[in-house]
Amino acid sequence: MTWKQLTPGQIRDEYKINVANSEEINTHYQALNKHIVSNFKGHLDIAYDNGGSRQMLDLFVPDKPNNSPMVVFVHGGYWRANSKNDRRFPADAFLRMGIAWIPINYRLAPSVSIDEIVHDGRKAIAWIYQTAKDFNGDPERIYVCGNSAGGHMMGMLCAAGWQKQFDLPDDIIKGGCALSGLFDLEPLLQAEANEWLHMDRDTALRNSPIYSLPMQHQKIIITCGTEESNEFRRQSHDYAEAIIKAGINVNYFEMPGENHLSIIGKLADKNSSLFTSIVDMVNEN
Backbone angles phi, psi at 217, to 5 degrees: -80, -15
Q: Judging by beta carbons within 10 Å of its beta carbon (0-12, 13-18, 19+), is residue 25 exposed, middle or buried?
A: middle
Q: What is the largest CA-CA distance in the chain?
A: 57
pLDDT band at residue 5 under the 50/70/90 scheme: very high
Instruction: State yes or no: cis peptide before 110, omega within 30 of 0.
Output: yes
In the predicted model, what is the mean pLDDT of residues 136-143? 97
pLDDT tens column, 36-69: 999 988 999 999 998 788 999 999 999 876 799 9
Q: Binning pLDDT at 50, 70 and 90, where does residue 1 land?
A: low
Find the helix or strand (DSSP H, E) in which 33 lies.
helix 22-39
Domains annotated for the chain, with CATH where assigned, are 3-15+43-283 (3.40.50.1820)
Q: What is the pLDDT of residues 125-134, one digit of tens each?
A: 999 999 999 9
Task: For CA atoms 117, 118, 120, 124, give the dihedral sign.
Answer: positive
Q: What distance, in Å, lies between the first and last C-alpha atoms of the chain?
A: 39
- For the chain, give the percent of residues with pLDDT over 70: 99
pLDDT at 285 over 80: no
Mean pLDDT of all residues in 249-274: 98
